[in-house]
Amino acid sequence: MTTLRKYLLSAFVAIVLSLTLANVTAMAWCQPEDHTAEYDCYNTDEDSCYCYYDCYCKVGQDACDLSLFRHGYSLVPETE
């Protein structure tokens, strides 16, 4: 019976550690600024899943939007 308790305790500890590690590594990593020929973006906020940026286009809106999309940005319309 002692062996079974040790096995269950070690399994429980392994599960708790893996969930803790998963929670820590799931945090978004946000760079403070991103500059390209098409746009400049500045980090304004972040949470555990997303980074939020204000981006300013240096070229036409369509070319800027395509470049932002290519680099992994999602456009969120501004709300008033």
pLDDT given for residue 14 in this prediction: 74
Give the span between the Cα atoms of 43 and 37, in whole angstroms: 18
Segments making up each domain of the chain, as ranges: 2-70
pLDDT given for residue 24 in this prediction: 52
pLDDT given for residue 10 in this prediction: 76
Write the pLDDT tens digit of every residue in 18-58: 766 555 555 558 888 999 999 999 999 888 788 899 999 99
pLDDT given for residue 77 in this prediction: 74
Which value, to the nearest 10 degrees, does the dihedral of the CA atoms of residues 57, 60, 65, 66 take?
-130
Top pLDDT among 44 and 9 is at 44
Mean pLDDT of 52-66: 92
